[in-house]
Structure 1
Amino acid sequence: MLAMILAAGRGERMRPLTDHTPKPLLPAGGKPLIVWHIERLVRAGITDLVINHAHLGQQIEDVLGDGSQFGAAIRYSPEITALETAGGIVQALPLLGDEVFAVINGDIWSDYDFARLPERARQLGSSDDLAHLVLVNNPEHHPSGDFPLRDGRLLPPHDSALSTQHSKFTFSGIGLYRSALFSGLTRGVAAPLAPLLRNAIAEGRVSGEHHTGYWLDVGTPQRLEALDQKLRKT
């Protein structure tokens, strides 16, 4: 299966670190954030990768090359300006093909086992669903969460059966998608992912799972430093 790593964001909250270095290349535990993803995907047997980029994107290509140094095959989807999550995926669809593919945010770190993704992709491909999301416990900076999860199905946030705050979990930035989810979008036009997911969830076409292990949105220099310290101790 194919996996896409999202690496086009400007990383405004990471400034000044991202003024001269793209966010996915910021180091933690002795290696760039994006390299952790690549190495763990390869260990899981997922070696065909697509990476989008915009801000200082050539640096990403220069460091990662064709992926052979990691045992991967990397292709790139450059964006003149960042197209947001859904727009970036649509831009890369010619590289991703028609099969179910994984998408991973380049600015997270998690011990989620990527070896689970191929089987999840097969299940998604044999269903009428459009997406499968990995959810995590709500972090301090996002206490209200994103979506309720019940019996492996995502429910609309306003669902009365799961109306309490504690019933919602946070989207981890790890997901599986069918290209049909993006059928209404135009290549080259910026578009967020959340509205597409909300529509698909309202139609009952999104499955999910709850990952209870380690996960971090590496969104600030302080979180990057915390991750660096954690990884250097392991």
Structure 2
Amino acid sequence: MFLASVVIVLATFGSGAAAATLIGKPPVDTVAAISPAVGQTVGIAHPVTVRFAAPVADRARAESKLGVSSTQPLAGTYSWVGDTELTWTPDEFLPARSPITVRFGDTRSEFTTNAGVVAEGDMSAHTFTVSIGGKVQWVMPASFGKPGWETPVGTYPVLEKFRSVVFDSRTIGIPLNSAEGYYINGEYAERLTWGGVFVHSAPWSVDSQGYANVSHGCVNLSAEDAAWYYQNVGVGDPVTLHW
């Protein structure tokens, strides 16, 4: 008898006979979706996200059930958005051009990494260097955040890509009527943070690119360089920014 896990319901049918229906409790930690999706190709710093159908009561148990591997298990750290979304972030870059398997209990998914497009923004040298598969492909003159609007230091996976996008200073707390205000149609943009840091084409700052930092925190590139990067980078590829 599994009285702890089932409820017995008696139903009476037209014949007068009583039938017992077993209604089981919902499975624990039921997976609603895994990202990246099956068959998707992403960058080598892309996190794995598991979204659950219901709030998870025991986070440690859920974390222990999540495994990410290539030819061998991969190490990572865990974070949560509420009680229904678990994110695993790799401790090191994922192997390039490799299938990555995600397992959560009996649920299995698999995605693939790209060649590994790694960018390095040197805010002191005013350069943006892009390597693919470990080989430097392009060193671009760049401009970063000016004093008071410094570009954040760290490694950030590309979150989104936009062929065209509107940059509105109000989204980072600057009124349009301020001397620092702007409303600009941008091109070839990659989002690095939800706070508004992008890599993007900035023809208005070309004269400063390679020489001075004049942006409000974004990485400014020429139209040609930004288009090349947009065409080659994948969502999940890393950008490291430093002095």
TM-score by length of 1: 0.31
Larger relative contact order (CA 8 Å, sep ≥ 6): 1
- Greater percentage in helix: 1
